[in-house]
Amino acid sequence: MHPILILVAQRLALGFLLLLAASALIFAGTSILPGDVAQSILGQSATPEALANLRRELGLNDPAITRYFAWLGGIVQGDLGTALTNGRDIAESLGGRLKNTLFLAFWAAIIAVPLAIFLGLLAVRYKDRWPDKLISGVTLASISIPEFMIGYLLMYWIAIKLRWFSSVAIINDDMSLLQKLDAIALPVMVLVLVVLAHMMRMTRAAILNVMQSSYIETAELKGLSGLTVIFRHAFPNAIAPIVNVVMLNLAYLVVGVVVVEVVFAYPGMGQYLVDHVSKRDVPVVQACGLIFAAVYIGLNLVADIVSILANPRLRHPK
DSSP 82: B
Ranked by mean pLDDT, the top range of 14-23, 37-46, 117-126 is 14-23
For residue 317, pLDDT over 60 is answered with no
Boundaries of every domain in the chain: 90-281
CATH topology assigned to domain 90-281: MetI-like fold (1.10.3720)
At what angle are helices 90-125 and 239-255 packed, to 10 degrees?
140
Average pLDDT, the chain: 77
Q: pTM of the prediction?
A: 0.76
Buried b (16+ CB within 10 A) or exposed e, 187-205: bbbbbbbbbbbbbbbbbbb
Please list, in sequence order, all residues whose beta carbon lies within 8 angstroms of the beta carbon of residue 296, skipping any fewer than 6 positions away: 251, 254, 255
pLDDT tens sequence across 116-141: 888 887 877 777 788 778 887 887 77
pLDDT at position 232: 64
When pLDDT is cut at 50, 70 and 90, the band that residue 311 belongs to is: low
